[in-house]
């Protein structure tokens, strides 16, 4: 039983917004499927840290979710900035159940156990947020992240945090999110959102203030899930 992670799949099997138009994304769905099937076993778990589907409404995700469901392993979904289909937990859970997508679950104010580890996370927010509305969103995301970590801690699990937005990027820091990671003793944090060679070079990876930071955008990973533990 292993844990893997990837982000930013940007699937559009039910919409007309293919990512193939971007450099390096040619045949990305086929490449992703081939790599996934060669790495992930049925008993494994894969965290997908946001920007999962270009669908605008929950019911429009069916083809994208059917594709994910067909792949090996359990999939834990987090919200990204482009997941416009995201709804309330009750509606998403009901939709997944109605469609028989029992290998897909969302992480939202809670955590999931994988062995001794607790998969925790939330979307996060911008590292240069400054407006009053941004501050409200950051505070809400901090609350969700703490709730997720609390849920794992209550079960005696070792929390690993997954975010969509990077907590640190190109010299900028989302202080509120980073403060949670440090104060809660988080040792590993995985994030997406960053695309392209130039942008990826500005991402902070490796050890940062005692935390291992890992970029898991699918193009950065070569469209292959990254082994976590």
Give the domain CATH number at 132: 3.60.21.10
Number of domains in the chain: 1
| pLDDT for residue 22 | 77
**What is the token pair recorded at 116?**
């001794």
| pLDDT for residue 208 | 97
Percent helix, percent strand, percent coil in the chain, to nearest 5: 35, 25, 45
Quote the Cα angle for 190-196-200, to 5°: 45
| pLDDT for residue 16 | 78
Q: Give dist(CA 224, CA 229) in Å, integer.
A: 15
**What is the token pair recorded at 104?**
């897909």
| pLDDT for residue 129 | 67
Among the listed residues 180, 148, 157, 154, the one whose alpha carbon sits nearest the alpha carbon of residue 167: 180
Which regions of the chain are under pLDDT 70? 127-129
By the 10 Å C-beta count (0-12 exposed, 13-18 middle, 19+ buried), 96 is classed as buried
| pLDDT for residue 14 | 86
| pLDDT for residue 48 | 98
Question: Any alpha helices (H) in 101-204, and if so which ranges?
Answer: 132-154, 175-183, 197-201
| pLDDT for residue 141 | 97
| pLDDT for residue 203 | 94
| pLDDT for residue 21 | 72
Measured in whole angstroms, how far is the alpha carbon of residue 81 from the centre of its chain? 11
**Boundaries of domain holding 57:** 3-227
């Amino acid at each position: 039983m292993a844990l893997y992670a990837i982000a930013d799949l940007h699937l559009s099997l039910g919409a007309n917004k293919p990512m193939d138009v971007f450099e390096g994304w040619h045949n990305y769905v086929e490449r992703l499927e081939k790599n996934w099937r060669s790495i992930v076993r049925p008993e494994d778990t894969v965290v997908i840290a946001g920007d999962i589907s270009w669908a605008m409404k929950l019911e429009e995700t069916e083809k994208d979710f059917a594709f994910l469901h067909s792949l090996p392993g359990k999939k834990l979904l987090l919200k990204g900035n482009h997941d416009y289909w995201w709804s309330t937990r009750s509606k998403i859970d009901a939709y997944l159940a109605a469609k028989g997508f029992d290998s897909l679950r969302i992480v939202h104010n809670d955590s999931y156990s994988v062995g001794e580890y607790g998969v925790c996370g939330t979307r996060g927010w911008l590292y240069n947020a400054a407006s009053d509305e941004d501050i409200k969103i950051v505070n809400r995301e901090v609350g969700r992240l703490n709730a997720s970590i609390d849920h794992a801690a209550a079960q005696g699990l070792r929390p690993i945090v997954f975010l969509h937005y990077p907590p640190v990027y190109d010299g900028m820091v989302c202080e509120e999110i980073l403060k949670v990671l440090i104060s809660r003793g988080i040792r590993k944090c995985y994030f997406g959102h960053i695309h392209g060679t130039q942008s990826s070079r500005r991402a902070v990876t490796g050890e940062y203030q005692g935390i291992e930071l890992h970029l898991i955008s699918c193009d950065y990973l070569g469209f292959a899930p990254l082994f976590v533990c």
